[in-house]
């Protein structure tokens, strides 16, 4: 796993904020709350969590990607949904009341693993937000049931690799994104054979590698959020 750095309270004005860095990938996550509900929850006391993922136009080494082009990108929408789904899986939405929490995940610098970094950072920002809402008596109980982490695993030149950078991702025979809870429960699994097919028996091996590293990420999250410090690093 690449070096990790987590900085919470990164944005002065957001109630929950986190800069999550994995290697050269940097994602800024801000959490806000609105007194509104999506249409399918009208008439209930349940809340909702949604996410918006976006990459700065020159966040990667590739040619500038115009903002308008990204707004209509299927990839952008897909990753936004993955982040929202992952967070909702570990939150009791009934404890949010008729409110919607929005997590904005902006990729400042991209070198592979932007969606996993976004999920990890989004969780920290969400936890920060909920802590502030409890302190301000907006919420009576923390709605977060479990901690959450995410990592990528792949096979590059026949070797298992965790937390792929962009170059490794470009050459991967298999690429997989895993999201799990602190109790080793599977939240999201995306497996793609890029250049070579493998037997099903490879899947448990990759998941075990993912868990070994996700557990480290969750430990970092806990060590940061249960302390008074604003920054924590790995490696």
> Domains of the chain (ranges plus CATH)?
4-146+214-234 (3.30.230.70)
- Give pLDDT, residue 202: 94
- Give pLDDT, residue 64: 65
Q: Where are the beta strands (DSSP E) in the chain?
A: 4-8, 16-22, 25-34, 48-55, 100-109, 148-156, 159-162, 172-181, 186-193, 231-234
Q: Which two structure tokens, joined as six digits, stand for 176?
A: 């997989």
Residues, the chain, total? 235
- Give pLDDT, residue 63: 67
Along the 235 residues of the chain, how does pLDDT read in single tens digits?
Answer: 999 999 999 999 999 999 999 999 999 999 999 999 999 999 898 999 999 999 887 666 666 666 666 666 778 899 999 999 999 999 999 999 999 999 999 999 999 999 999 999 999 999 999 999 999 999 999 999 999 999 999 999 999 999 999 999 999 999 999 999 999 999 999 999 988 999 999 999 999 999 999 999 999 999 999 999 999 999 8
- Give pLDDT, residue 71: 63
- Give pLDDT, residue 222: 98
């Amino acid at each position: 796993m690449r070096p990790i750095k987590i900085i919470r309270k990164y944005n002065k004005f957001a109630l929950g904020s986190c800069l999550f860095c994995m290697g050269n990938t940097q994602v800024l996550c801000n959490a806000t709350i609105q007194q509104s509900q999506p249409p399918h929850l009208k008439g209930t006391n349940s809340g909702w969590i949604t996410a918006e993922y976006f990459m700065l136009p020159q966040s990667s080494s590739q040619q500038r990607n115009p903002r308008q082009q990204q707004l209509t990108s299927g990839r952008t929408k897909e990753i936004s949904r993955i982040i929202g789904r992952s967070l909702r899986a570990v939150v009791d939405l009934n404890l949010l009341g008729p409110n919607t929490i929005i997590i904005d995940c902006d990729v400042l610098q991209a070198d592979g693993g932007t969606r996993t970094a976004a999920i990890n950072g989004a969780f920290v920002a969400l936890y920060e937000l909920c802590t502030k809402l409890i302190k301000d008596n907006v919420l009576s109980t923390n709605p977060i049931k479990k901690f959450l982490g995410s990592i990528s695993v792949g096979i590059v030149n026949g070797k298992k690799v965790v937390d792929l950078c962009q170059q490794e991702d470009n050459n991967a025979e298999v690429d997989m994104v895993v999201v799990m809870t602190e109790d080793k429960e599977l939240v999201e699994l995306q497996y793609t054979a890029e250049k070579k097919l493998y037997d099903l028996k490879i899947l448990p091996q990759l998941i075990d590698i993912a868990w070994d590293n996700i557990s480290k990420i969750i430990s970092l999250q806990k060590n940061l959020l249960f302390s008074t410090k604003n920054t924590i690093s790995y490696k």
